[in-house]
Structure 1
Amino acid sequence: MIADVQHALKEMIYSEAALPRDALDVRFAAPTSAWVSGLTRPTLNFFLHDLRENTGLRSSEFMHSYVSGGQRRDLAPRRIDLKYLVTVFFKSQVDELGRDEWNVLWRVLAALMRQDDWEEQYVPPAARDLDVGVLGVIGQPEGQATQGLFSSLGLPVRPHLNYTLTVPLNLNVSELSPLVLERRLEFRSGLQEGAAAGEGVVRSSWIIRDGLGRPVPDALVRGAGARGFSGPDGVVHLAVAREQVRDLDVLTLDGQILRLPAHSAALLPQLTE
């Protein structure tokens, strides 16, 4: 994820700050004094010096999705803060194009502040697949901490930005709950063991899908004298035992009437849109 985010950050900076790709490099190195002395081109550098979880954005909720055979629950991604020291290095204060390092830093500042919540076009696919965005914040000067960082790199303190990117981390924690197709409840009297207080309550569940495997919501479903409406996930519950259902009569929201054999697992043929 870090490599993907840094590649996306590089493309976003070139685009949003209107920096010349043929005259200025964007790199992600530890800017030691030896590294700086070896530069041959103007360079904008993002030095990743710290990463930690953003506990303020932590979520313990599970995301639900229906898969073949049941319901899948995935733990929401954690959010990780990537902290960067942003600096610009030229061999002199003014390069051959007349753009000095302070001007570049100013353009970068405007670009990063404009993209505090990254536009979708800049979000890397790995984060987009998790349906979680990327957040960027320009931090306040960190005083002694930043001075210590420059000292450890062997550099004098120079104009810089403190930039924090918040990106998702998938912990791959998930569980699968099998679909309950039938449920039987039986009530017994506590006065005499084994004596039934009433008849059992039976319920069977079915998933109504179209020919493309998509759930069919809001359909009226009848079977063996019982009826019910399918929910947004295509699941319908009927107050009848599964073995009693031979056919399901389905009335879709757009007026189609279909009869489905129960042994077909309630899979609808493709509907006409």
Structure 2
Amino acid sequence: MIHEVDEALRGLVVAEALAGTGVDVSFDAPTRDWANRRNAPTVNLFLYDIREDRSRHFQGRVAERDAAGQMVAWHDSPHFFALSYLVTAWTNRPTDEHRLLSALLTNLVRYDELPADRMTGSLAALRLAVPMAVAAPPGEGRALADVWTALGGELKPSLDLVVTAPVSARRTPAAPPVRERTVGVSDITGARASRRTRVVPDGRR
């Protein structure tokens, strides 16, 4: 699930906030060594915290459907995990970094959840909303200054981006759909005829 959120964010950032700029996108830890190796303007989305959001847990199963709307599997009640990203811009001038952060903020704040067309894999299969929030006050235990200290770098302007994504505990394939087939039945003389419906699984005769 985490890599699917990564790719959804990459697609969203590249297509909207950074469209036509040629700015790189990285998910590496923005340590001092990484910063020294960087050789192009870069937006960094560093995943620094993962924790379960139990307030979103619900009872019941979730149906997975194919492109035609046919149910293909059931998912047990999913667990939701908040993925927290430290979003920073890296160039040779602070003013350029501020412009990039402004573009990121302007585009990301438009969305209360990941767009459905950006989701793939298990996120697309579950078809559940994936909430996201940018620049909200960090929750308890998520002080960004502590993150910078752990990275060994200097404090830098950043956006705190939190995406809350579901994880399916178990996927159970659905039984074949039931079809009805009507057959004609008559007695040996052919004098009487009746019609009888036989219920068979799809694809069987």
TM-score, normalised to structure 1, is: 0.58
Helix, strand or coil: the match of 2:169? coil
Higher RCO, 1 vs 2 (CA within 8 Å, ≥6 residues apart): 2
* Residue 91 (structure 2) aligns with: 90
Helix, strand or coil: the match of 1:171? coil
Identity within the alignment, %: 26
The reply to whether residue 161 of structure 1 matches residue 159 of structure 2 is yes
Helix, strand or coil: the match of 1:134? coil
* Residue 80 (structure 2) aligns with: 79
Helix, strand or coil: the match of 1:50? strand
Post-superposition offset of 1:9: 0.8
1:245-272 deviation digits (Å, cap 9, x = unpaired): x98xxxxxxxxxx93354xx3579xxxx
Equivalent position amino acid for 2:55 in 1: G
For residues 177-192 of structure 1, what are the structure 2 equivalents within 5 Å?
none
**Structure-1 separation of matches of 2:201 and 2:149:** 67
Contact 1:123 1:134 in 2 (8 A): no
Contact 1:58 1:78 in 2 (8 A): yes
Post-superposition offset of 1:147: 1.0
1:42-90 deviation digits (Å, cap 9, x = unpaired): 110011011111111011222469xxxxxx8641221111001111111
Q: Give the root-mean-square deviation of aligned CA atoms.
A: 3.2
Contact 1:83 1:163 in 2 (8 A): yes
Post-superposition offset of 1:3: 1.4
Equivalent position amino acid for 2:78 in 1: P
The reply to whether residue 13 of structure 1 matches residue 13 of structure 2 is yes
Size of the aligned set, in residue pairs, is: 183
Find the partner of 1:114 among 110, 114, 120.
110
Post-superposition offset of 1:16: 2.1
* Residue 170 (structure 2) aligns with: 172
Task: Please say which structure displays the higher CA radius of gyration.
Answer: 1
Structure 1: 5+ residue runs without aligned partners?
66-71, 95-99, 179-206, 212-220, 222-245, 248-257, 269-273
The reply to whether residue 151 of structure 1 matches residue 87 of structure 2 is no
Post-superposition offset of 1:124: 2.2
Find the partner of 2:137 among 140, 143, 146.
140
* Residue 179 (structure 2) aligns with: 209
Structure 2: 5+ residue runs without aligned partners?
65-72, 186-193
More helix per residue: 2
Using a 3 Å threshold, how does the CA distance of structure 1 residues 131 and 110 change in structure 2: closer, same or farther? same
**Structure-2 separation of matches of 1:58 and 1:261:** 43
Using a 3 Å threshold, how does the CA distance of structure 1 residues 76 and 41 change in structure 2: closer, same or farther? same
